[in-house]
Structure 1
Amino acid sequence: MPRILAPLLAGATYARLLHLLIGWIFAGVVLMIYPGTYHKGLGEIVVASVAVDVVLLALVALVPATRRAEGVQARLLLLPDREEDIAAESSRSWADRRRTAGWLIGRVVLGSVVGFATAFGLTSGYDLLTGPDSFWYLPLAPVLVLGYGWLVVSAGRLQLAMVVRLLGPSPVERLAEAELRAERLLERNRLARELHDSIGHALTVTVLQAGAAREVGDQAFTAKALEVIEETGRRAMEDLERTLVLLREPPEGAAGDGTATEHPGVDQLSALFDTARAAGSPVEARIEVPAGALPGVLSRESYRIVQEGVTNALKYAPGEPVSVRIAVQGGQLELRCANRSAVGGTGPARLTGGAAGRGGKGLRGIRERATLLGGEATAGVSGDGGGEWVLAVRLPLRLGS
Structure 2
Amino acid sequence: MLKTIFAPLLAPATYARWLHLVVGMIFAGVVLFVYPGIEAGVPVIELIAKWAAVVSVLLVLIALIPAVRRAEGVQARLLLVPEREEEIGTASSKGWADLRRTAAWLLGRTALGVPVGYVSLFGVAGAVSTVSYVVTGRHPEPFGLSLPRSVPPLAYLPVVAVVLVVLVLFVALAGRLQLAMAVRLLGPSPTERLAEAEQRAERLLERNRLARELHDSIGHALTVTVLQAGAAREVADPAFVAKALEVIEETGRRAMDDLERTLVLLRDSADGSAVERPGVEQLDGLFETARAAGSPVVAVVAVAHGELPGVLSRESYRIVQEAVTNALKYAPGQPIRLRLATEGGDLRIRSANGRATEGGSRRGGGKGLRGIRERAVLLGGEAAAGWEGEEWVLSVRLPLRLSA
Q: Normalising by structure 1, what TM-score?
A: 0.82
Moved more, 211-220 or 54-63: 54-63
Moved more, 121-130 or 291-300: 121-130
Q: Which residue is 2:200 aligned to?
A: 181
Give distance in 1, aligned partners of 2:352 and 2:298.
Answer: 10
Deviations 1:265-317 (A, max 9, x none): 22221111011111111001112234444222222111111100101111222
Contact 1:7 1:13 in 2 (8 A): no
Shift of 1:100: 3.2
The equivalences for 1:227-242 within 5 A come to 227-242=246-261
3-state DSSP class of the match of 2:274? coil
Moved more, 28-37 or 274-283: 28-37
Q: What do you get for the CA RMSD once the two structures are aligned?
A: 3.4
Q: Which residue is 1:328 aligned to?
A: 342
3-state DSSP class of the match of 2:230? helix
Q: Which residue is 1:26 aligned to?
A: 27
Q: Compared with structure 1, are the counterparts of its residues 125 and 149 closer, same or farther at alpha carbon in structure 2 (3 Å cutoff)?
A: farther
Shift of 1:75: 2.2
Contact 2:28 2:55 in 1 (8 A): yes
Q: Which residue is 1:126 aligned to?
A: 143
Shift of 1:63: 5.6
| Unaligned 5+ runs, structure 1 | 251-255, 352-358
Q: Which residue is 2:363 aligned to?
A: 350
3-state DSSP class of the match of 1:233? helix
Give distance in 1, aligned partners of 2:216 and 2:298.
Answer: 21
Deviations 1:41-94 (A, max 9, x none): 434433443344345445554665543443233223322222210123455666
Shift of 1:342: 5.7
3-state DSSP class of the match of 1:260? helix
Question: Is 2:115 aligned against 1:109?
Answer: no
Q: Compared with structure 1, are the counterparts of its residues 340 and 2 closer, same or farther at alpha carbon in structure 2 (3 Å cutoff)?
A: farther
3-state DSSP class of the match of 1:263? coil
Q: Aligned AA for 1:313?
A: A
Contact 1:370 1:394 in 2 (8 A): yes
Contact 1:342 1:381 in 2 (8 A): no
Shift of 1:380: 2.1
Q: Aligned AA for 2:73?
A: G
Shift of 1:160: 1.3
Among 368, 375, 386, the residue aligned to 1:362:
368
Q: Aligned AA for 1:114?
A: V
Shift of 1:206: 1.8
Moved more, 218-227 or 192-201: 218-227
Deviations 1:78-116 (A, max 9, x none): 222222101234556665455334322321121113333
Moved more, 185-194 or 223-232: 223-232
Q: Aligned AA for 2:90?
A: A
Question: Is 2:323 aligned against 1:309?
Answer: yes
Q: Which residue is 1:397 aligned to?
A: 400
Question: Is 2:221 aligned against 1:202?
Answer: yes
Q: Aligned AA for 2:261?
A: R
Contact 1:380 1:390 in 2 (8 A): yes
Contact 1:373 1:395 in 2 (8 A): yes
Among 271, 277, 283, the residue aligned to 1:263:
277
Q: Compared with structure 1, are the counterparts of its residues 4 and 264 closer, same or farther at alpha carbon in structure 2 (3 Å cutoff)?
A: closer
Give distance in 1, aligned partners of 2:61 and 2:163.
Answer: 39
Contact 2:9 2:165 in 1 (8 A): no
Give distance in 2, aligned partners of 1:258 and 1:18.
Answer: 51
Give distance in 1, aligned partners of 2:393 and 2:185.
Answer: 58
Q: Compared with structure 1, are the counterparts of its residues 343 and 171 closer, same or farther at alpha carbon in structure 2 (3 Å cutoff)?
A: farther
Shift of 1:151: 4.9
Question: Is 2:341 aligned against 1:339?
Answer: no
Q: Aligned AA for 2:322?
A: E
Give distance in 2, aligned partners of 1:244 and 1:208.
Answer: 27
Q: Which residue is 1:5 aligned to?
A: 5
3-state DSSP class of the match of 1:259? helix
Give distance in 1, aligned partners of 2:162 and 2:4.
Answer: 13
Contact 2:9 2:169 in 1 (8 A): no
